[in-house]
Structure 1
Amino acid sequence: MKEKPVTLSIWSESRRPRIHPTPVEEVPKGTDGQGLVGDFSNPRTDTHRSVFQQDYDRLLFSTPVRRLADKTQVWPMEENDGVRTRLTHSHEVSNLARSIGARAYKGAREAFRQHGCGDDSLAEMINPLLLSIGLGHDLGNPPFGHQGEVAIGRWFEQRKGWIFTNITEGGDLLAAPVPQEYWSEFIEFDGNPQSLRLLTRLQTHIDGLGLDLSAATLAAGLKYPVSYLNRDKDDPVIKKGGYFESEKDLVDWIRKHTGLEEGQRHPLTWIMEACDDIAYSVLDVDDVLKKGIMSPDDVLMILRKNFNTDGVVGKIQEKFKEIESRLFSPEIQRDIKVEYLRAYLIESLIEHASKTFIVNVPAIFGFESMKPLMDDSQLCNVLKSVAQQNAFSHSSVLRMEALGSAAIDGLMTVLWEAISYRKGFDNIRSKRLGARAKYVFSLISANYIEQAAKCINSSEVASGLRYRELRLLTDMVSGMTDSFAMRLWEDIKVMPDANCA
C-alpha cells in the first residue's frame, strides 16, 4: 500500500503508526483509564474531544503523573501537606500556561492564523496542548530533583574509565562500547530527555507506543530541541540535550510531521518555559512563607528595595495596609497577605510573559533562537534569588539532598550489579548470578526490561548492549519517587554483596 503523503504542521495531530491497527468495530467505547476513547488508530473518530484534549487526558490519568506527588519540588519528603510537591508544581505550571496562552493568542491572533489556527483553535488546540506540556514537563526528573540529576551524573563520572568501554572494571573491552561523544547523556544526565523517553517508550502499550501522544504535543514538550551532540551552552534554547540517542528515531518522526528541524523550538514551548520560571519564582517563595521561614512583610521589604512603588509593589503595599486596618488576628492577617502577595506577583509575571511573547512573535514563529520570555523580568529574577537563599539553600533541604544523593549512589551500584551480574552476557534477561542481584533485578519494571532487551532503534549506538544496559539503569532510578528510593536503599544496604551463584 502506498504511504500517504505527510502534511507538515506544527499542530500535527498525527500519532505513530500502530503495528496492528485495531478494527473500528472492536474498539471498546468509554474510557480505559488513560482517557482513550473511540478508535485508537484514528484520532478523528472521537468527535467529542480534539486530539490534544485526548493527549491531556492520557497524561492526567497516567502513572508517571501520579508519581510526581512523591517527588521533590524544593522540600524533599516534606511533612507539611500545604507545601508543593512536583505534582502540584506541574499542575500550577499547566494552569499558568493556559492563562498565558489565552492572552498570547488574543494578542497575536493573526500570527496564529497564518500558522494554521482557526476560530476554535484556542479551545481545541492551544489550551489542551499547553495543559499537556505543563503537566508533563518534569516527568523525567529523578527523586530529589536537580540534586538527583547531579547524583546520577556523578555515579557515571566516577566510573567513566570503564563503564562505557569494558565488560567490568579492569575486565575485557566490550565488543560494542559506547562512543565517547555519547557519554555525556549519562555523565550529564538530565530529566528533560528522560521525560520524552518516559512518554514514548516506557509506558506500557499494546504496540509499544508509550502514551501514544500526537506529534504536536511531543514537539511542544521538547524544551531543548537538539541532541546532546548539538548542544551550544551559549544559546539558551539549545544549551542542553533535549533527547537521547535512543529516541532519535522518535524525534525524526516528530519532525517529519511538524516540519520543525534540529534546534527549532515549537512556539508554545516558550510559554511552558516561562510558566516554569514563574513557578520557580513566586510559588517557591510562597512555600517559604508557608513554612514560616519568612513573612510576607519580609518579601515586601525586599521588593521595595529593588523596585519603586508605582507598579505591582505599590499595589501590594496598599493591600497590606488595608489588611492591617481590619480586626484580624495576626495569624489570619498573615495568611491573607500571603494570598494577595501570590496573586499580585503572578498577575504581574503573567502579563510580562504574555507581552514579551506578543512582541517577539516574528522570531517565535520564525523558529529563531532568542532569550527566554522571563529573562528580562527583574521581578522574576529577584524572586528566584529569594527562593534560592531561603529555600534551596535551607539546611533542611541540603540535609535531605545529601541523604538522597547517598541513596541514589548506593541504589545505582546495586542496580548495576543486578543488571550486569548475569549468566549470559548477550542476554539481558539471563539468570542473575547472585542472591542480591536476583532480588534487586526482580524489582525492576518489566516494561523497562522489555525496552532494554530489544533493539528497537535504528541507531547503532542506541542498539548497542551496553548503551541499553545503562539506559535501563537510568530508567529505573529516575522513575523512583523520593520515599520509594529511601525505603529501597534502607532495605538493600544491609544485604551483603552477592559473590557466589
Structure 2
Amino acid sequence: MLVSAPHALIIGNVPQKMNWEQLLSDARWGSSHQSTAAPQKHRSNYDRDYGRILFSSAFRRLQDKTQVFPLGRNDYVRTRLTHSLEVAHVGSSLGMLVGEWLAGKDALPAHIIPSDLATIVSTACLAHDIGNPPFGHSGEDAIETALSRHGLSHPFEGNAQGFRILTRTGDPMEGKGLKLTAAVLGAFMKYPCTQSYSLKAKQNMLAPANRLECKKFGIGGQETEAAAFVAASLGLIPRTEAEGNDLCWCRHPLAFLMEAADDICYRIADIEDGFFSRILRFDHVMELFHPFLTPSQREYAEDLAVRKEEDSCVHYMRALAIGRSIRTVVESFKVHEDRLLGGCLEKSLIDVSELAAPLDRLYQDAIRDVYQTQDVIQVEAMGYKVLGELIDFFMEWVDNPGSGQSRKVAILLQGTLLPADEESREKRLVHMLDYISGMTDSFALETYRKLTGIR
C-alpha cells in the first residue's frame, strides 16, 4: 500500500515554514551539566563546535583515509582530511555571503551576525566525512558485502555514522557525542531520515514529501532521540509522525550549503588531482574549466599555456572555478530561499544553478577518466579484501561472545561502551562497525596483516 507522507505540517490552512530565529538555535544536544568555561566575547557557541570537531580523534583520523587516489602516490593529491578542510573553507564563504544577504534584509535574529552562519556551515562541512570508513567510498560497499556473507542485510551509510559520532560515540565518557549545537547538527544532516523510511521510499511503499531528503539515510537506530532533539530545537518540518521507526524531517536550509561546498570541492579538485597525477591531459582540463572563466581570464590562462606554465595555469583555473561556483550557489540560495524554508526544494543548489551543466561534466568526466584508473581500482579492491577479512574475524565475537576466540577479540575491541555478553547481537554488531569504520587505511591494513600472518 502506498502511503503519502505529509509535505509539511499544516497549521490551520497555512503550511508551516521554518524561520531563521529557530533554525540558528544554539541549544546543545547531550549536555548534562552547566559549562564551566567562562563566556568569551568574541567566540560564539558555534566557534566552540568547530574546535570540538577539529580536536576530535575521529576528525584527526581523516588524515590517513583515502579520498580518491591512493595515499602516498604523491604528495599533492588530497586525503579525506585535506578535502574536509577545503570544504570547510568553501562552506565558510557560502555561509558568510548568505548571512550578509539575510542581514541586509533584516532576516537574521538580532543576536546573530553573518559570520555566525559562516561558522555554522563551515563546522558542518568540517565534519561532513567524519563517518566515512577506510579505503574511500567503496569502503561502505565493502562492509555491506562482507556482512551479507554472514546473512546480514545491514546497510552501512557514512552520513549516518557521522551523525552517530557527533551525537553518541564521539565522547565515550558520556555517550552523548561531541555535544554540538542544534544549528551545526542540522546543517550537517544531509539526509534527515531513518534507514527504514529511506528504504520504504525507494521501494515505493510510501510517497516521500521530498525525495532529495531520503535518497540515503542519515539517522541510525540508536540516534533517533538525538535527531528528534535537533529537529524540535530547529523547527524542522516533520514528514512523519513522531513515533515509530520511519522518521523523517525536512532538510535545514544550511545543509544545502554544506552539500554545495562538498560538491564544488570534489568535482573541481578531483579534476585538478587527476591532472597532477598525470591522468588527465592539460588541454582536456583547460576545456573543462573554460565555462567558469571570463573572456579576460581565459586569455590569461591561454597565455600561461603558451609559456608552458601548465601547473600554474591549472591552479589558476581551479581557483577561479571555485570562486565562480560559490557566487553561483549563493545566487541559487537567494532565488530559492522560500522553497528552502518551506522544505520543498527537491534539487541541490548546484543542480538549480546556471553552472549545473559544466559542474556535472566535471563529475561525469571524473567518473570516466579518473575514478576508473588502475591505482584507484586497486585501493577499492584492497578495501573489499581487508575490510571483508576483518569483519569475518570479528563476527565470531558478534555471533558467539562466550567463545575462547571471542574473549581475545573482545580485548581488541575494548572500550568503555563494549557491550556485555548478555546484551543483544545487534549491539555487538554496531560496536564492531564503529570500530572498523573508524580505522584509518594504514591501521586497517596493519591489523589485517597481523591477523592473517602476512608481513
- TM-score band by shorter chain is 0.7 to 0.9
SS in 2 for 1:293: coil
1:439 shift after superposition: 3.7
Q: Given the alignment, which residue of 323, 333, 351 partners 2:327?
A: 351
Q: How does 1:323-362 map to 2 (within 5 A)?
A: 323-324=304-305, 326=307, 330=308, 333-362=309-338
Find the counterpart in structure 2 of residue 433 from structure 1. Answer: 404
Find the counterpart in structure 2 of residue 189 from structure 1. Answer: 156
Does 1:203 find its partner at 2:197? no
Deviations 1:25-75 (A, max 9, x none): xx4xxxxxxxxx43xxxxxx4444111111011111111111000111101
Whole-angstrom CA distance in 2 between matches of 1:17 and 1:473: 23
Counterpart amino acid of residue 23 in structure 2: I
Find the counterpart in structure 2 of residue 117 from structure 1. Answer: 109
1:258 shift after superposition: 1.5
Find the counterpart in structure 2 of residue 4 from structure 1. Answer: none
Find the counterpart in structure 2 of residue 444 from structure 1. Answer: 413
Give the paired residue count.
413
Q: How does 1:480-495 map to 2 (within 5 A)?
A: 480-494=439-453
Contact 1:300 1:317 in 2 (8 A): no
Counterpart amino acid of residue 121 in structure 1: I
Whole-angstrom CA distance in 1 between matches of 2:333 and 2:281: 33
Whole-angstrom CA distance in 1 between matches of 2:24 and 2:181: 9
Does 1:224 find its partner at 2:212? no
Find the counterpart in structure 2 of residue 321 from structure 1. Answer: 302
Whole-angstrom CA distance in 2 between matches of 1:205 and 1:473: 15
1:203 shift after superposition: 2.2
Unaligned runs of 5+ in 2: 1-19, 203-209, 239-247
SS in 2 for 1:294: coil
TM-score with structure 1 setting the length? 0.77
Deviations 1:361-381 (A, max 9, x none): 101122224200112411110
Q: Given the alignment, which residue of 63, 68, 92 partners 1:98?
A: 92
Residues 287/324 of structure 1: CA separation in 2 closer, same or farther (3 Å cut): closer
Does 1:9 find its partner at 2:25? no
Whole-angstrom CA distance in 1 between matches of 2:75 and 2:408: 34
Whole-angstrom CA distance in 2 between matches of 1:74 and 1:406: 18
Whole-angstrom CA distance in 2 between matches of 1:18 and 1:107: 33
Does 1:60 find its partner at 2:19? no
Whole-angstrom CA distance in 2 between matches of 1:18 and 1:345: 41
Residues 374/17 of structure 1: CA separation in 2 closer, same or farther (3 Å cut): closer
Unaligned runs of 5+ in 1: 1-6, 28-36, 39-44, 164-182, 424-431, 456-463, 496-501
Find the counterpart in structure 1 of residue 282 from structure 2. Answer: 296
Contact 2:46 2:184 in 1 (8 A): yes
Contact 2:88 2:126 in 1 (8 A): yes
Counterpart amino acid of residue 152 in structure 1: I
Calculate the aligned-residue CA RMSD, in Å.
2.5
Does 1:140 find its partner at 2:134? no
1:259 shift after superposition: 1.6
Whole-angstrom CA distance in 1 between matches of 2:30 and 2:170: 17
Contact 2:305 2:313 in 1 (8 A): no
Find the counterpart in structure 1 of residue 372 from structure 2. Answer: 393
1:322 shift after superposition: 2.1
Does 1:268 find its partner at 2:268? no
Deviations 1:259-306 (A, max 9, x none): 2133311111000101111112101111111212223322123566xx
Counterpart amino acid of residue 341 in structure 1: M
Counterpart amino acid of residue 256 in structure 1: A
1:486 shift after superposition: 0.9
Contact 1:192 1:242 in 2 (8 A): yes
Contact 1:70 1:482 in 2 (8 A): yes
SS in 2 for 1:446: coil
Does 1:404 find its partner at 2:396? no
Find the counterpart in structure 1 of residue 74 from structure 2. Answer: 80
1:324 shift after superposition: 4.2
Contact 1:98 1:127 in 2 (8 A): yes
Find the counterpart in structure 2 of residue 428 from structure 1. Answer: none
Contact 2:173 2:416 in 1 (8 A): no
SS in 2 for 1:392: coil
Whole-angstrom CA distance in 1 between matches of 2:143 and 2:433: 8
Residues 454/420 of structure 1: CA separation in 2 closer, same or farther (3 Å cut): closer
Whole-angstrom CA distance in 2 between matches of 1:254 and 1:370: 22
1:237 shift after superposition: 2.2
1:89 shift after superposition: 0.5
Q: Given the alignment, which residue of 114, 128, 134 partners 2:119?
A: 128
Residues 453/55 of structure 1: CA separation in 2 closer, same or farther (3 Å cut): farther
Whole-angstrom CA distance in 1 between matches of 2:426 and 2:397: 16
Contact 1:72 1:86 in 2 (8 A): yes
Contact 1:204 1:447 in 2 (8 A): no
Q: Given the alignment, which residue of 378, 381, 392 partners 1:413?
A: 392
1:242 shift after superposition: 1.1
Contact 1:76 1:400 in 2 (8 A): yes
Whole-angstrom CA distance in 2 between matches of 1:454 and 1:130: 41
Counterpart amino acid of residue 70 in structure 1: D
Find the counterpart in structure 2 of residue 168 from structure 1. Answer: none
Whole-angstrom CA distance in 2 between matches of 1:483 and 1:414: 18
Contact 2:91 2:125 in 1 (8 A): yes
Larger Rg: 1
Q: State the identity as a percent.
A: 31
Contact 1:448 1:476 in 2 (8 A): no
Whole-angstrom CA distance in 2 between matches of 1:257 and 1:339: 42
SS in 2 for 1:145: coil
Residues 408/315 of structure 1: CA separation in 2 closer, same or farther (3 Å cut): farther
Residues 271/302 of structure 1: CA separation in 2 closer, same or farther (3 Å cut): closer
Residues 490/383 of structure 1: CA separation in 2 closer, same or farther (3 Å cut): same
Counterpart amino acid of residue 432 in structure 2: L
